[in-house]
């Protein structure tokens, strides 16, 4: 029997990334409150938020400092824009702080409201810059299969997942996808991570040469692939990619929407993996998800072009109403202050060994083919046969079923096909990590019993 709230939901909302037909039958999980790493539904049931919402609620729920900061800013200046040369102190202070902590030399910051619009901005700036430099043919952008960069028309084109393209008439022309750097799933038999990385770098170079280096403008990558399945790069991958991009004068865009602000054990994943980025996209943990805000960090080289074009055209014709929203910027400034004061990066490094150890232990389970993580992000891949790595049929929804069982056990996590991700709030303790994985182990055992009953396992 569906609750009144559930019925109202079904009759009023279209839910993102949801099977809308199934949703009409089973209804929503309606959450009511949260504190720390826990959230509570309308019946009072407790869940560990094993995904920090959507990879974003880094400081957990009900952080009073962030709530008070938002309240005070709303009382003082609830909104103004930064169009036409207007400004305000929170936007300026946040930009200064971002420049101070940036993993590569950064000149300026451009604000938006989401990771999707940040990456949409990246595409527009790449095109704009090359037109300005008299290189109108240098427009193609290379992303990666299973990469995730958003859902706007341009950013969804960058995304390398079929469900973001099917029947949306995407990707746009001029956006291409090179191989996914998932060693477990795509390496050849006996191929080391270094050799796999070399092969992928060679494939990227072949694509650039085939298209023509004078037509390829940029390459975009997440340090750790998020919605593609919480996939870590293989050894040597970004070192080899860096060399190819430099060889052909191709801009490197680092998508730090998920990995920015401590997730990988450094302030930025760009540092963790030695990525020589020219521009960087930020969102999510920039405000601990307490307010929609994104930022694109631009090099001096890129900014100089924007200035020159403003002299020529008369305006930089891009931006949105909520860019640099004073409440969002004030919350972000306070969030960065808390990261520094509470030594959040150091905390991640302290608890990460427990997280990675418990995650990798899941690899011993009969259903788990791979289990890997870094910092406080990682994933497991559920397989039909551990020895051959044979996957389940996608339509069986084994990963999704394990997430349903996890919810029964009081854990919220996320399935992307048959890969299940873990990305808890950065404030999580070692004891809470242990409990999170205890709950998922019970869910996995339920999944195994269900799979056996359904005859889904290899004979």
CATH number, domain with residue 56: 3.90.1150.10
Note the pLDDT of residue 240.
98
Residue 55 lies in a domain: yes
CA neighbor of 375 nearest in space, from 228, 273, 252? 273
Same domain, 287 and 372: no
Last residue within a domain, chosen from 290, 317, 341: 341
- Tens digits of per-residue pLDDT, 144-163? 999 999 999 999 999 999 99
Same domain, 18 and 154: no
Give a three-class secondary structure readout of 322-343: CCCCHHHHHHHHHHHHHHHHCC
Report the pLDDT averaged over residues 20-29: 94
Whether cis (ω within 30° of 0) applies to the bond prior to 115 is: no
- The first and second tokens of residue 244, run together, are 């190819």
Residue 416 lies in a domain: yes
Side by side, the strands of the sheet bearing 108-112 are: 108-112, 294-298, 279-282, 251-255, 216-221, 140-144, 175-178
Q: For residue 97, is it left (φ>0), alpha (ψ between -120 and 50) or beta? A: alpha
Residue 215 lies in a domain: yes
Last residue within a domain, chosen from 341, 364, 381: 341
Residue 96 lies in a domain: yes
Same domain, 57 and 100: no
Q: Quick one: the chain helix, strand, coil %, rounded to 5?
A: 45, 15, 40
Pairing state between β 140-144 and 216-221: parallel
Same domain, 183 and 170: yes
- Within 316-455, residue ranges assigned H as helices are 326-341, 344-361, 398-408, 430-453
CA neighbor of 108 nearest in space, from 332, 296, 328? 296
The DSSP string of 129-191 is HHHHTT-TT--EEEEETT----SSHHHHHH---GGGTTTTT-SPTTEEEE----HHHHPPTT-
Longest Cα–Cα distance of the chain, Å, equals: 70
Domain at 183, CATH number: 3.40.640.10
Rounded Cα–Cα distance for residues 446 and 359 (Å)? 18
Altogether, the residues listed in the chain come to a count of: 459
126, exposed or middle or buried, with CB in 10 Å at 0-12, 13-18, 19+?
buried
Q: Is the pTM of this model over 0.85?
A: yes
Residue 351 lies in a domain: yes
CA neighbor of 410 nearest in space, from 367, 378, 453, 441? 441
Note the pLDDT of residue 157.
98
268, exposed or middle or buried, with CB in 10 Å at 0-12, 13-18, 19+?
buried
Same domain, 12 and 143: no
Is the pLDDT at 376 greater than 80? The verdict is yes
Same domain, 368 and 329: no
Rounded Cα–Cα distance for residues 296 and 149 (Å)? 13
Same domain, 108 and 232: yes
Residue 458 lies in a domain: no
Is the pLDDT at 289 greater than 70? The verdict is yes
How many domains are contained in the chain? 2
Rounded Cα–Cα distance for residues 212 and 52 (Å)? 42
Cβ–Cβ under 8 Å, residues 363 and 355: no
Same domain, 193 and 58: no
Note the pLDDT of residue 269.
98
Is the pLDDT at 2 greater than 90? The verdict is no
Please state the φ and ψ torsions of residue 419, each to the nearest 5 degrees: -100, 135
Same domain, 335 and 349: no
Same domain, 95 and 30: no
Same domain, 336 and 213: yes
Report the pLDDT averaged over residues 385-400: 95
Last residue within a domain, chosen from 315, 341, 367: 341
- Within 38-106, residue ranges assigned H as helices are 52-55, 64-76, 89-101
Residue 459 lies in a domain: no
Report the pLDDT averaged over residues 10-31: 94
Same domain, 113 and 164: yes
Note the pLDDT of residue 165.
97
91: domain range?
66-341
Sign of CA dihedral 154, 160, 161, 163: positive
- Tens digits of per-residue pLDDT, 292-341? 999 999 999 999 999 999 999 999 999 999 999 999 999 999 999 999 99
Residue 41 lies in a domain: yes
Note the pLDDT of residue 459.
66
- Tens digits of per-residue pLDDT, 92-119? 999 999 999 999 999 999 999 999 999 9
CA neighbor of 116 nearest in space, from 258, 1, 5, 233? 258
């Amino acid at each position: 029997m569906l609750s009144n709230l559930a019925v109202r939901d079904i009759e009023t909302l279209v839910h993102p990334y949801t099977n809308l037909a199934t949703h009409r039958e089973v209804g929503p999980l309606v959450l009511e409150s949260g504190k720390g790493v826990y959230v509570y539904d309308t019946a009072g049931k407790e869940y560990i938020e094993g995904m920090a919402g959507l990879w974003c609620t880094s400081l957990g729920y009900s952080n009073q400092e962030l709530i008070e900061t938002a309240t005070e800013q709303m009382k003082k200046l609830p909104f103004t824009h930064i169009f036409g040369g207007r400004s305000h102190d929170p936007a300026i202070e946040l930009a200064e702080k971002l420049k101070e902590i940036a993993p590569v030399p950064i000149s300026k910051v451009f604000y938006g409201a989401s990771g999707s619009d940040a990456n949409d901005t990246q595409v527009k700036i790449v095109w704009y810059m090359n037109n300005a430099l008299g290189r109108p043919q240098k427009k193609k952008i290379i992303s990666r299969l299973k990469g995730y960069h958003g859902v706007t028309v341009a950013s969804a084109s960058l995304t390398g997942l079929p469900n973001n393209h099917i029947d949306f008439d995407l990707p746009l022309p001029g956006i291409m996808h090179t191989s996914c750097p998932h060693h477990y799933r795509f390496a050849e038999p006996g191929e080391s991570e270094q050799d796999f990385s070399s092969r992928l770098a060679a494939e990227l170079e072949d694509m650039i040469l085939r298209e023509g280096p004078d037509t390829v403008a940029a390459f975009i990558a997440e340090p750790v692939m998020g919605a593609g399945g919480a996939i870590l790069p293989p050894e040597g991958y970004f070192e080899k990619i860096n060399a190819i991009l430099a060889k052909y004068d191709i801009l490197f865009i680092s998508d730090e929407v998920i990995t920015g602000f401590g997730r990988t054990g450094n302030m930025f994943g760009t540092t963790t993996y030695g990525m020589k980025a020219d521009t960087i996209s930020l969102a999510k943990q920039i405000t601990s998800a307490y307010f929609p805000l994104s930022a694109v960090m631009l090099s001096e080289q890129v900014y100089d072009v924007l200035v020159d074009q403003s002299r020529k055209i008369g305006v930089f014709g891009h931006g949105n109403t909520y860019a640099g929203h004073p409440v969002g910027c004030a919350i972000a400034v306070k969030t960065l202050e808390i990261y520094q004061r509470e030594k959040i990066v150091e905390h991640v490094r302290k608890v990460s060994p427990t997280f990675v150890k418990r995650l990798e232990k899941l690899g011993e389970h009969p259903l788990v083919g791979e289990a890997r993580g870094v910092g406080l992000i990682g994933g497991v891949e559920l397989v039909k046969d551990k020895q051959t790595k044979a996957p389940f049929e996608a339509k069986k929804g084994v990963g999704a079923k394990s997430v349903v069982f996890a919810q029964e056990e009081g854990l919220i996590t996320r399935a992307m096909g048959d890969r299940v991700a873990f990305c808890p709030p950065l404030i999580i303790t070692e004891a809470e990590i242990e409990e999170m994985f205890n709950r998922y182990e019970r869910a996995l055992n339920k999944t195994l019993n269900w799979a056996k009953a359904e005859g889904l396992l290899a004979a």
